[in-house]
Amino acid sequence: MEDLLSYSISDFLMYSPDVYYRLLGRYNDAVWPMHYAAFALSIAAAWTIYWPRRWSGPLVGLCVALGWGWTAAVYFFYGFYATISWAAPYFAALFMLEAVLLVGVGFAGKLVFEERPRNLKLVGMVLFLLVLFLAPWSSIFEGRALGQDEMVWLTPDATAMATFCLFLAASKSHWLLYVVPIIWAALNGALLWAMESPTWWLMPCFAVLAVSGALYKCYSLHWAR
């Protein structure tokens, strides 16, 4: 037991930061020009949320599910992250589960976007646009080479952060949708901390903000009654 407690998170890290960043570069080169499709998907989701209709929930759920499903199948499972970590199939299963939940919850009417209230909706939309436009330049903040960056709906970290933002903008969302992104936020924060990344705290903060917004909306409805 004492030997087990002597281990740190860095002892379980199976790759160096340089190996991980080079993987991101190879991945971005391989999936180009899917970046344009991912950006178009993001704009469609943002447009649907800002000007909601009755079908906004199912459509946004489907759009976000495509990003989680792509990341599960292509990034984790199909020869990219799997080349540096034995945990890739398990991460792929988690992300595919989230994709299924997003479609199911969206079409069940449990993911709702309304015109009002606009307070948290605007916060969520602004943060979503920041993630969308700043994620491709994240390599600059961490000293990486250009091209070794995160893309919304194509890589796990940017996808999870964007999803938290959309949950914050939602008028109503099912608690099941938060489970997988929160798990990934915890794993991501721990792995980046072990890699001594200066942005290790970012994903957990997005998770806390999204959950706080969900609790606020839940109790606001309770108090309104």
Query: What integer pLDDT is reported at residue 6 of this predicted model?
Result: 44
Which parts of the chain register pLDDT below 50?
A: 1-7, 222, 224-225
- CA dihedral sign of residues 154, 156, 158, 162: positive
Query: What integer pLDDT is reported at residue 9 of this predicted model?
Result: 54
Which of 94, 70, 90, 80 has the alpha carbon at shortest distance from 152? 70
d(CA 212, CA 168): 9
Query: What integer pLDDT is reported at residue 208 of this predicted model?
Result: 94
Question: pLDDT digit string (tens) for 78-127?
Answer: 778 988 888 889 999 999 999 999 999 999 999 998 876 567 888 999 99
- Domain ranges, ordered by start, for the chain: 14-224
Which of 199, 204, 64, 206 has the alpha carbon at shortest distance from 126? 206
In three-state secondary structure terms, 172 is strand
Look up residue 145 and give its two tokens: 């080479």
What pTM does this model have? Answer: 0.89
Question: pLDDT digit string (tens) for 77-90?
Answer: 877 898 888 888 99
d(CA 141, CA 197): 10
Query: What integer pLDDT is reported at residue 106 of this predicted model?
Result: 94
Look up residue 24 and give its two tokens: 């991101």
Contact 75, 162 (CB under 8 A): no
Query: What integer pLDDT is reported at residue 150 of this predicted model?
Result: 87
